[in-house]
Each structure stands twice: as C-alpha cells, then as structure tokens.
Structure 1
Amino acid sequence: MLHQRNWHTSSYTSQDSCVEVADDDPDIVMVRDTKDQGRGVMSVTPVGWAVFVEYVKQL
C-alpha cells in the first residue's frame, strides 16, 4: 500500500519560488518543486534534512 504524503510549504516562502516538503515518514524526507510537482522528488534522511535546515538558518 502506498503512503499518502503530507506535503507542505514553509510560511517564509513566496508562491513563485518555493519547495514542498513531506516529512511525515520517520525514515525519509521528500522535497519537490511547488510549481512543477511532476518533475521529480529528492529524498534525504531525516538527519540529513535537519543538518540542511540548520545550515540554511545560519545564512
């Protein structure tokens, strides 16, 4: 059975330039382009995603 992802966007992004994130699976975080959802999905580990988010916060 396929898991229905809970895609969401950040409240800090604009409608024309953002990504959607599905982080409701404890084993994987999925990221996709909001404007072109069928183009593909990037998958990362939750630890990798947390490291990325902390890095971006420092920019």
Structure 2
Amino acid sequence: MNADVSVDRNLCVAILRWSINYGRVIQDVILSDQDLGMQVFRTQVAFLISFRAVWTSSLR
C-alpha cells in the first residue's frame, strides 16, 4: 500500500512539474497567437480536471 502511495505521489509531482512547464509554453503561445493559445489552454484545463477526478477516485 505505502509503495503505491509513494509512486502516486511521484507521478503527481511529475505531472505538476510538467503542467508548470506546459503553462510557460502556453503563455508564450498565447502572446504570439491568441486563438491557438486559448485552444491549447482549454485542452490543458480539461486534462487537469480529468486527471484530478482520476487522482481523487484512486485515493478512495
């Protein structure tokens, strides 16, 4: 059980780091092309919401 939790935590940290880096990329894209930037941003938000749903259900 504890091993699974630590793996999940590592995965979560990795995804958060990726999201932060991805956020910087989105910021650059939005500055250069707003329509594309918003499309990418919405995709990222949808991904994070679905990831959070999976994450919370895996903790139960």
TM-score (norm 1): 0.36
Q: Select the structure with the greater relative contact order (CA < 8 A; seq sep ≥ 6).
A: 1
Larger Rg: 2
The structure with the largest helix share of the pair is 2
The structure with the largest strand share of the pair is 1
